Every structure is written in C-alpha cells, then in structure tokens.
Amino acid sequence: MTADLLKRARTLADDVLYPAADRVDAEEAFPPGHFEPLAEAGLYGIAAPPEAGGPEELDLAGFARVVEVVASGCLATAFVWLQHHGAVRAAAASERPGIRENWLQPLATGRRRAGLALAGQLPGEPRLRAEAVAGGYRLTGASPFVTGWGLVDTLYAAARDADDRIVWMFLDAAEGDGLSAQPLPLSAVDAARTAELRFDGLYVPEERVTGTLPYADWPARDAQGLRTNGSLSLGLASRCGTLLGIGTGDTDPELDACRRALDMADAEAMAAARADAAALALRRAAAVVVARGASSVLRGRPGQRLLREAGFLQVFGTRAAIKEELLARWMP
C-alpha cells in the first residue's frame, strides 16, 4: 500500500504539481481544480483509519515520505494539504459523540478540506481563549499564521480554557459574527493564503468539540509531531537534487541520511535532525541558483522560488531547540 501511495504521489508531483509551481508562485494563486487530483488519488485520507478509507499499514515514516513527495512538486500545495491531516486524525481519535460519525468520512475523502488554527497549543500566555458558556464555548483572541484561508471550509482549532486545558474543536472557515481574517503576505508560498484570525466571542457549540487536554501534558505530544514538518524540507531538497543532477528521492545518499535521521530521532534528537533537513534544503536551493546563473533571479524561474521557499522552511514549524541548532549551523 505504501508503494502504491508513493507512486500516485510521485505522478502527481512530477506531472501536475511541479509544472504548475512557478505559475502558482508568480500569480500567488492556485489554478481552478488544483487540489482535485490529490482528492481523487486518495491523498486527503492517508491519515484516516482503514475503515474510513485510509491505507493499511501506513506508519509515521510512510506518511512522512508521502508528504515529502508531494512537497517535491509544489511547496505551496503541500503546505495547504498537510494541514488537513491534523483534522482527519482528530476526527478519527475523538471519543466525543457525533464527531467521528459526522466529520471523519467527509474529511478523509476531501469533500471537506481543513486548515489549522492552533494558537491554544502555543507556549506562553494563551493567544486564543475558550470561555465555557451554556451549550459550548466562546472564543476570544487571535490565531496567527492560519494557512488555506479561502481554500478550506473547516478549521481544526485549539484554544485554552480557564483551567489551562487545550480545547480542540471544528469551526467553519468563514468570516462572520465573531470571526475575522487579516491576510498575511508571505515571502514564499503566498498562494497558500495565510491569515491571522481574530475571534471576538465566536460561539462554538459543544458538539463541535473534539477533545480536551491539560496544557501541561501537551509538550510531550507536541514533540512527537515535529517529524512530519521535516518532510517539507526534504521534498524541496529532493527537487533541488533532481535539478542539480544529484539523483532522485530514491537515489540520493545525503537526502536518505537526513530522512533516516528524522525517522529514527527521539524527542531529544529531533531538533538536530530537523535542522539538518532545513539546512540541506537551503544549501541545495542556493546551489540551484548558482548552477542556473543569472536567470535564477527572474520571477517565474525555479531558482529564486526554491531559494525563497528554503528560507521560509528555516522558520516554519520550528521550536526553540531547532532554532538553536540552525543558528549553530549558520553561525558556527
């Protein structure tokens, strides 16, 4: 099953996503129907359990490899699509009445497409608060860097309540009473439509809450989720390797070493493995610019796009330990 998924993902990356990537970047928009092939190939359901149409025996390493392949085609596409799987996992794992029954199948098939608004998971003073009221919660605050605004119809959101618990819930991804969006222009992957969301008493009924967790228990779970974001860097490094003639994702020793380090890393080793992947992406993107010469500074050419995207990946999905590891590589 993993081999079949990878084959489908590779075909999409090479034949659909990569040929459109420079146009997506230049126009800062996806062509109509751009995400439909991913849904038709079953790639919106790869985090779903088999009974909901998900693949059999796809472990974290296999999932991460699919993410890597999609990212090798178009980072902006992968950036939007990757967020979706957090909502699928939440629907599949929820023990709340009605969540699994009402949300899992539409999400797993791509009939619903989700983004993430996870301000309640961030360390420090909560940026998004959930006040318990009759029948549900009211949300107040903000969630920065929400990807896919205008491209997704569902948000998987996290807020913090008065007892310092994380409250996860499904929201409609639409402005209205209590919810507004401010677009954030990015240096790369701007077509992914990232925005800061502001909540002013948005009401969320209890039946949309997928679960809760004391915030003190969250850091250990958060560490387990850092692996997958490293695959975005590997995907970009893989595409650069192909352009440089180094090899493909399957015949590239340096890339394979980074992948194995990520797959094998425990919580303590993950920061170094993530930093190595991000550094590899930036070094290779710079090499593409040099190899392609002056044309690489022209908009619409892959060199400048890949370099901007690699710079973006130096800070995307990082934590303090990853930042320290990267700074040690760039400022020895």
Cα torsion angle, 35, 41, 47, 52, sign: positive
pLDDT for res 177: 92
Let me know how long the chain is: 332
DSSP three-state, residue 318: coil
Integer Cα distance of 219 and 240 in angstroms: 33
**pLDDT tens string for the chain (332 positions)?**
578 899 999 999 999 999 999 999 999 999 999 999 999 999 999 999 999 989 988 899 999 999 999 999 999 999 999 999 999 999 999 999 999 999 999 999 999 999 999 999 988 899 999 999 999 999 999 999 999 999 999 999 999 999 999 999 999 999 999 999 999 999 999 999 999 999 999 999 999 999 999 999 998 787 667 899 999 999 999 999 999 999 765 689 999 999 999 999 998 999 999 999 999 999 999 999 999 999 898 888 999 999 999 999 999 988 899 999 999 999 97
Burial class of residue 207 in the structure, from the number of CB atoms within 10 Å of its CB (0-12 exposed, 13-18 middle, 19+ buried): middle
pLDDT for res 327: 97
pLDDT for res 247: 72
pLDDT for res 248: 66
Q: 232 with 77: CB under 8 angstroms?
A: no
In 3D space, the residue among 10, 31, 73 whose CA is nearest the CA of residue 232 turns out to be 73
Q: 87 with 237: CB under 8 angstroms?
A: no
pLDDT for res 224: 65
Integer Cα distance of 151 and 223 in angstroms: 28
Model-level pTM? 0.94
The phi and psi torsions of 197 (rounded to 5 degrees) equal: -100, 140
